[in-house]
Amino acid sequence: MKFGKEFAAQLIPEWQQAYVDYSCLKSILQEIQNARKRSGAVTRKQPVHRNFSGLTNRSNRVATSEELENQDIMVSEMIGDDGFERYETSIMRVAEAGREPELVFFKTLDLEFDKVNHFYKSKVEEMVKEAMVLNKQMDALIAFRIKVDQPSSSWICSETVSVDVNALDTTEHRKTLADVMGIIVSNHGDSTRGNMPEALSVLERIRLNKDQETPLSRIRNVLKLSSHEELKFTRENLKKIEERLKDVFIKFYRKLRHLNNYSFLNTLAISKIMKKYDKIASRNAAKTYMETVDKSYLTICDEIRKLMVRVESIFVEYFASSNRSKAMNLLRPKVKKEKHRTTFSSGFFVGCSVSLVIALALLIHARNIMGADGKNIYMETMFPLYSLFGFVVLHMIMYASNIYFWKRYRVNYPFIFGFKEGTELGYRHVLLLSFGLNTLALAAVIMNLDMEMDPNTNDYKTITELLPLFIVGLVILITICPFNIFYRSSRFFFIMVVFRCIAAPLYKINLPDFFLADQFTSQVQALRSLEFYICYYGWGDFRLRQNTCRSSHVYSTFYFIVAVIPYWSRFLQCVRRLIEEKDSTEGYNALKYFLTIVAVCLRTAYSLNRGNSWRNAAWFFSALATFYGTYWDIVFDWGLLHKSSKSWLRGKLLVPHKSVYYVAMVVNVVLRLAWLQTVLDFNIPFLHREIMVALLAILEIIRRGIWNFFRLENEHLNNVGKFRAFKSVPLPFNYDEE
């Protein structure tokens, strides 16, 4: 693999703009090479060298005439007005051919090098500050441990040493916080406030933070009650604190690894590009420039490596029972390996699905099932039951496609969704689950494709009639199964987010919450199918394929409610964010969902009670909601149609072909107009009404799948713009002064 591709593959996506622009520098080198080929000129000495990073700053070093004679370039270090070091390269020998591209090359290289240096320095300073905070957290943890281990003892601290992350002896072996934080204690009779050692006095200034928001904690916040837990020195609390602080250290260590890799990659990129320059321009400038790089903050700063060593030592002693191998396995990121059996199983179920679809089509044609007397009864009873699996499978396939393209265009979806590292599902895993369910459902359809009653009993086979219910029950059991099978971490994450969607006003709204709620708004027909399951198997006579669901007022009422629930949940999420974040945009977003709720209710009312008044109202509110929703999708969720851009797209696009975005916008508009069929009563004679309803639901699922990609792309680019590569991890302790 060429270095350019390897470099692009290893950089942190959210920090992409902070890396050396290797491709830009390569393109300038190509211009130099083309210019030299056209003229065939030979490099010759120029009597005057040229500066191109400014004329107002004074260099810290003046080169001698002998150095100017023997060097191809000279790099000067200066201090800018902002206090940061800046580098300026002067070319001592410039060829006539390629003169301007060479000047542009070094000016660009200097700017890129300055950018990398400044970014690295700012991040190192952040890490040092964070290390100081963790130092205080460790002080509190050690004091908490002492209190738990000896709750009735009094302690005198004969020596308590604290560590400054910058104070290190360069001549001796570096000691970690765990090494120097030796607390020499002795029993001193009854405990009193006066003789409490300094190590334990920290407990008077700290409170326990809530690990996560709950409905009860939300109520306490609304009532202006304390959001902190009182200190209870129990082993249960100690275990929770240790787990949370362990997670904090793991995240901190991985930040350090990223920064260490950032320094290495950029240094290597500059080295590679200078070697290419020497080769193209027939010079010997790489050595001189790399000497400057080796003396820069990017390379000479050793604070990150020191912090990594300290974190490793602390983690080994305090969180891994002095087992270094165990500690490093936790600290280092887990590389998720693709298993061949996953790919094989996915392909196997895809083949099974295709075979069953062909078999089903041949069976229907051979037996002329669509012309049988029981067709209408089957379409009104069994088809809604089995269409549920079609909606779910299609949505999963669209999600698998999203994952594939997110990975292809380096959208960091595990970070955005907040998946636990190493547990996120790849597109192969999602395809395995979707086609596995599809195979099961198709097999059940073929077994259940019986249009005629048993002449002796005048009923249908009970077992085959119950097949859809068995599959739904199996899916639910697997989803809530507590055992570590079938991707337990992902299943529990899904259950947790579903619960947060249901209890929307009582939780702080995160991206996974409203993203999943949006998915449910595109699965209204699937939710109505679940309602039909309850009615058909609960109050209908499934043995005779008879039910009175659609003539029941209770069923009709819940037909409205079920359709509104996803939009209502999303509406409440927007209201919560409006109140909490004081962002007026969320108010307009809430209005969008309110209009959609009205439109859905009116269309449902028109489908159940035909009439011009219902039809006109459905027309008006559906058109208004469609216009509003389409504008919101494209402008706010996708970040497109900006007047500031010549192409009306974003300044930064992940997909190289702009036509993809224009096509996506048009498709979004067209698919959003699918509701017109319900108002225009447009029916195809050879298609049953239930099939038309299913087709409209399928179009909405496809629209949502397209929306998913561009929505997450926009979120990813927002993170990139703010260099957000890590999520904040809540600390277990909060000091009073903080």
Specify the 3-state DSSP secondary structure of 644.
coil
pLDDT of residue 682: 66
Given this model, what pLDDT does residue 94 score?
61
Q: Which amino acid is at 66?
A: E
620 pLDDT above the threshold of 80: yes
For the chain, what percent of residues have pLDDT higher than 90? Answer: 43
Instruction: Give the per-residue pLDDT at 2.
Output: 83
Query: How confident is the model over 292-306, as a mean pLDDT?
Result: 91
pLDDT beyond 60 at 175? no
Question: Which residues are CB-neighbours of 543 under 8 A, at least 6 positions away?
Answer: 459, 460, 462, 465
Kindly state the percentage of the chain with pLDDT values over 70. 83
3-state SS assignment for residue 638 = coil
pLDDT band at 376 (very low <50, low <70, confident <90, very high): confident
Q: Please tell me which of 14-28, 84-98, 449-463 the model is most confident about, judged by mean pLDDT.
A: 14-28
What local confidence, expressed as pLDDT, does residue 75 receive?
81
Per-residue pLDDT band for 432 (boundaries 50, 70, 90) equals very high
- Among the ranges given (1-10, 213-222, 242-251, 422-431), the one the predictor scored with the smallest mean pLDDT: 213-222
Q: Which range has highest mean pLDDT (234-248, 269-283, 312-326, 431-445)?
A: 431-445
* Cα–Cα dist 72/63, whole Å: 13
User: Under the phi-then-psi rule, with left for phi > 0, alpha for psi from -120 to 50, and beta for the rest, what region is 173?
Assistant: beta
The residue whose two tokens read 């029993």 is 187
Query: What Rg value do the Cα atoms of the chain yield, rounded?
Result: 33
**pLDDT in the model for residue 664:** 95
CB-based contacts of 35: which residues, under 8 Å, 6+ apart? 97, 98, 101
- Residue 1: predicted pLDDT: 64
Phi, psi of 73 (to 5 degrees): -135, 165
CB 8 within 8 A of CB 266: no
Give the DSSP H or E segment for 86: strand 85-91
- pLDDT at residue number 218: 59
Q: What is the pLDDT of residues 257-294, one digit of tens each?
A: 999 999 999 999 999 999 998 888 888 888 889 989 99
Poorest-pLDDT segment among 175-179, 301-305, 536-540, 726-730: 175-179
Q: How far apart are CA 470 and CA 449, in angstroms?
A: 16
The contacts found for 2-11 with CB under 8 angstroms, 24 or more apart, are 3/268, 3/269, 3/272, 7/265, 7/268, 7/269, 10/261, 10/265, 11/262, 11/265
Name residues whose C-beta falls within 8 Å of residue 330's C-beta, 6 or more positions apart in sequence.
246, 250, 315, 319, 320
What is d(CA 636, CA 589) in angstroms, rounded to the nearest whole number? 10
Q: Is the pLDDT of residue 64 over 60?
A: no
The amino acid at residue 304 is I
Burial of 224 (0-12, 13-18, 19+ CB in 10 A): exposed
Whether pLDDT at 702 is above 70: yes
Q: What mean pLDDT do residues 542-556 have?
A: 87
- CA–CA gap between residue 259 and residue 433 (Å, rounded): 37
What pLDDT shows up at residue 216?
A: 59
pLDDT of the residue at 229: 52
Mean pLDDT of 607-627: 86
737 CB neighbour count, 10 Å cutoff: 5
Contact call for residues 645 and 651 (beta carbons, < 8 A):
yes
Predicted local distance difference test score (pLDDT) of residue 236: 86
Binning pLDDT at 50, 70 and 90, where does residue 633 land?
very high
> DSSP character for 87?
E
For residue 541, the SS3 value is: strand
Q: Is the pLDDT of residue 245 over 80?
A: yes
- Report residue 51's pLDDT band, with 50, 70 and 90 as the boundaries: very low
Asked whether residue 16 carries a pLDDT value surpassing 60, the answer given is: yes
User: What is the DSSP secondary structure assignment for residue 726, as one 8-state letter?
Assistant: S
pTM for the model stands at 0.82
- Mean pLDDT in residue range 712-734: 82
Which tens digits make up the pLDDT trace of 446-502?
988 877 777 777 788 888 889 999 999 999 999 999 998 889 999 999 999 999 999
Residue 83's pLDDT is what?
Answer: 65
What mean pLDDT is reported for the chain? Answer: 82
Using alpha carbons, select from 510, 419, 411, 407 the residue that is nearest to residue 715. Answer: 411
* Weakest mean pLDDT among 49-58, 252-261, 304-313, 600-609: 49-58
Residue by residue, DSSP assigns 91-127 as ESS--STTHHHHHHHHHHHHHHHHHHHHHHHHHHHHH
- Residue 15 in this model has a pLDDT that exceeds 60: yes
Tell me, what DSSP letter sits at residue 74?
E
Residue 371 has pLDDT above 90, yes or no: no
Q: Over 60: is that where the pLDDT of 312 sits?
A: yes
Span of 51-60, 286-295, 355-364, 658-667 with lowest mean pLDDT = 51-60
The string of DSSP letters for 445-485 reads HHHH---S--TTTSS--HHHHTHHHHHHHHHHHHHH--SS-
Please name the residues in contact with 181: beta carbons below 8 A apart, sequence gap of 6 or more. Answer: 138, 139, 142, 160, 161, 162, 163
- Would the pLDDT of 437 be above 50? yes
177-181, 404-408, 504-508, 643-647: the lowest-pLDDT one: 177-181
41 vs 37, 327, 331, 348, 650, CA distance in Å? 8, 60, 55, 63, 43
Read off the pLDDT band of 143 (50, 70, 90): confident
Task: Judge whether residue 397 has pLDDT over 90.
Answer: yes
